[in-house]
Amino acid sequence: MALLEVENLQTHFRTPDGINRAVDGVNFHVNAGETVAIVGESGCGKSVTAMSILRLIPEPPGKIAGAIRFNGKNLLDASDKEMRAIRGNEISMIFQEPMTSLNPVLTVGRQIGETLRLHQGLSAQAAEDRAVEMLKLVGIPEPQRRVKEYPHQLSGGMRQRVMIAIALACNPKLLIADEPTTALDVTIQAQILELMRDLKHRVGAAIVLITHDLGVVAEVAERVIVMYAGRKVEEAAVGPLFRNPRHPYTQGLLGSMPKLGSSLTGEETRLAEIPGLVPSLKKKIPGCVFASRCPKVTDLCTQYAPALEEKAPGHVAACHYALREEVVAA
Amino acid sequence: MSQPLLQVNDLKKHFPIKAGFLGGTTGYVYAVDGVSFDIAKGETLSLVGESGCGKSTVGKALLRLFPLTAGQVVLGGDRIDDMPNGTLRPLRRKMQVVFQDPFSSLNPRMRVRDILAEPIRNFGLAKDAADLEKRLEGLMDKVRLPRDAINRWPHEFSGGQRQRIGIARALAGEPDLIICDEAVSALDVSVKAQIVNLLQDLQTELGLAMLFISHDLAIVEHMTHRVAVMYLGKIVEVAPKRSLFGAPKHPYTEALLSAVPVPMPGAARERIILKGDVPSPINPPKGCRFHTRCPYAFDRCRTEEPQLRPVADALEGGHIAACHLHDRPAGENPLSGAKGAQLLAVGSA
pLDDT of res. A321: 85
Average pLDDT of chain B to the nearest whole number: 89
Angle, helices A186-203/B251-259, rounded to nearest 10 degrees: 50
Which parts of chain A have pLDDT scores under 50?
A: 329-330
Closest CB to A157 among B194, B218, B277: B277
* Cα A49 to Cα A56: distance, rounded to the nearest angstrom: 10
Which residue, among A187, A214, A256, would best test binding to B if mutated, counting the most B CBs under 10 Å from its CB? A187
DSSP label of A293: G
Q: Per the CB < 8 Å rule, is A271 touching B217?
A: no
Task: Compute the distance between CA of residue B218 and CA of residue B239 in angstroms, rounded to an integer.
Answer: 16
Give yes or no for B236 touching A (CB within 8 A): no
Neighbours of A286 (CB within 10 A): 10
| DSSP string computed for B247-286 | S--SHHHHHHHHHS--S-TT------PPPS-PPPTTSPPS
Within the 29-58 window of chain B, which residues sit less than 8 Å (CB to CB) from chain A? Answer: 50-51
Q: Is B286 in the A-facing interface, judged by CB distances under 8 Å?
A: no
B218 touches A: beta carbon within 8 Å: yes
Q: Shortest CA distance to A226 belongs to which of A243, A206, A251, A207?
A: A251
3-state per-residue secondary structure call for A95-158: CCCHHHHCCCCCCHHHHHHHHHHHHHCCCHHHHHHHHHHHHHHCCCCCHHHHCCCCHHHCCHHH
Q: Averaged over B190-194, what is the pLDDT?
A: 86
- The reported pLDDT for the residue numbered B348 is 53
User: Percent of chain B beyond pLDDT 70?
Assistant: 99
Instruction: Mutate one of A41, A217, A271, A277 to test the B interface: name it (highest B CB count within 10 A).
Output: A271
Q: Which carries the bigger pLDDT value, residue B109 or residue B50?
A: B109
Residue A264 to residue B245, Cβ atoms within 8 A: yes
Give the CB-side neighbour count of residue A1, counting CA atoms within 13 A: 9
Alpha-carbon torsion A100, A101, A104, A109, what sign? Answer: negative
Domain ranges of chain B: 6-229, 242-344
Closest CA of chain A from B235, distance in Å: 17
C-alpha span between B81 and B63 (Å, rounded)? 9
Task: Write out pLDDT tens, residues B132-146.
Answer: 999 999 999 999 899
Measured between CA atoms, how close is A273 to chain B, in angstroms? 6
**CATH topology (fold) of B6-229:** Rossmann fold (3.40.50)
DSSP count for chain A of H helices, then E strands: 14, 12
The H helix count followed by the E strand count for chain B is 11, 12
Residue B349 pLDDT: 43
For range B261-285, the mean pLDDT: 83
* Strands A309-312 vs B44-48: parallel, antiparallel or unpaired: unpaired
Residues of A in contact with B215 (CB under 8 A): 185-186
Q: How far apart are the first and last CA of chain B?
A: 43
List Cα–Cα distances, A330 to A239, A323, A325, B298, in angstroms: 21, 11, 9, 59
The answer, for B280 touching chain A at a CB cutoff of 8 Å, is no
CA-based angle A267:A268:A271, to the nearest 5? 120
Question: Residue range B166-178: average pLDDT?
Answer: 93
How far is it, in rounded angstroms, from Cα A230 to Cα A292? 15
Residue B199 has pLDDT above 70, yes or no: yes
Could you give the CA distance from residue A42 to residue B163 in angstroms, rounded to a whole number? 16
Residue B161, pLDDT > 80, answer yes
CA distances from A120 to A70, A114, B18, B32 (A): 20, 10, 46, 50
- Give ipTM to 2 decimals: 0.79
Amino acid at A45: G
Q: Is the peptide bond before A61 cis (omega within 30 degrees of 0)?
A: yes
Residue B347 banded pLDDT, cuts 50, 70, 90: low
Nearest to A260 among B160, B260, B278 (CB): B260
Which residue type, as a one-letter code, is found at position B182?
E
* Residues B202-234 pLDDT 10s: 999 999 999 999 988 989 998 899 999 999 999
What separation, in Å, do the N-terminal and C-terminal C-alpha atoms of chain A show?
Answer: 36
CB-based contact (8 Å) between B225 and chain A?
A: no
Pairing of strands A231-237, A315-317: antiparallel
